Amino acid sequence: MLIPHPLLGLRDAQEFTYLGDASLMARPDPDQPDAEAAFADYVFLRDNPAGVHRELWFHEQGDRSWLVVTRNTVTHEILGAELATDVARRGA
Partner 1 sequence: MGFSGFRVIKEALTGHRGWGELWRNLEPKPEYDIIIVGGGGHGLATAYYLASVFKTSRVAVLEKGWLGSGNIGRNTTIIRSNYLLPGNQPFYEFSMKLWENLEQELNFNAMVSQRTIINLFHSDGQRDAYRRRGNAMHLTGAGGRLLSQEELRGIAPFLNFDNARFPIKGGLIQERAGTARHDGVAWGYARGADRRGVDLIQNCEVTGFRIEAGKVLGVETTRGFIGAKKVGVAVAGSSSRVMAKAGMRLPIESHVLQAFVSEGLKPTIPGVITFGAGHFYVSQSDKGGLVFGGDIDGYNSYAQRGNLPVVEDVIEGGMALMPMLGRARLLRSWGGIMDMSMDGSPIIDRTHIDGLYFNGGWCYGGFKATPASGYAFAHLLATDTPHDTATAYRFDRFARGHVVDEKGVGAQPNLH
Q: Which residues bind partner 1 (CB under 8 A)?
A: 1, 12-14, 18-21, 37, 40-41, 43-50, 53, 55, 71, 73-76
Smaller CB distance to partner 1: residue 1 or 88? 1
Smaller CB distance to partner 1: residue 74 or 89? 74
Short-list 77, 66, 89, CA closest to 20 = 66
Region label for 11, one of left (φ > 0), alpha (ψ between -120 and 50) or beta (otherwise): beta
| Residue 91 C-beta: closest distance to partner 1, Å | 23
54 C-beta neighbours (distance < 10 Å), count:
19
